[in-house]
Amino acid sequence: MASTFATDGKAGAGFSRRTLTPEFALGTAAIGDQNAGWLYVVADVAVAAAVAVAVVNPTTFHITAATGGTGYTVDTAFAIGEYGWVRKTAALV
C-alpha cells in the first residue's frame, strides 16, 4: 500500500488528490508515511492508476507519456491537465 500522508512537513499534501490548479511548485518532493518518495507533477496526457512507468520530464515535471518511462508509479489516475503526486519507485541516477 502506498503512503497516505506526508511526514516531512508538507502540509496539505494529499497523494491521491488531483486538481486543475497547482497546490505546490512543480518538482516539489515529499516523503510519505511509508517512507516513499513523492514528486509533484502535471499531466500532459491521461494516465491510468497503477501505471508503473509514467514518463516524467526531469526538468519541467510534466508527465509526457503514460508508458515507457522508469522510476515513477501513478497510484491515482490523472486526466490531462491535472496536478498531483507520483510515487518514486526506482532510484534515479
Amino acid at 30: A
Confidence of residue 1 (pLDDT cuts 50, 70, 90): low
Query: Measured between alpha carbons, how far is 25 from 80 in angstroms, rounded to an integer?
Result: 18
Tell which wins on pLDDT, 4 or 14.
14
Indicate the pTM of the whole model. Answer: 0.84
User: What pLDDT does residue 92 have?
Assistant: 47
User: What pLDDT does residue 42 have?
Assistant: 95
Query: Measured between alpha carbons, how far is 73 from 66 in angstroms, rounded to an integer?
Result: 10
Give the bridge partners for 31, in sequence order: 37
Tens digit of each residue's pLDDT (9 = 90 or more) over 44-60: 999 888 876 678 888 99
Which is it for strands 29-31 and 37-43: parallel, antiparallel or unpaired? Answer: antiparallel
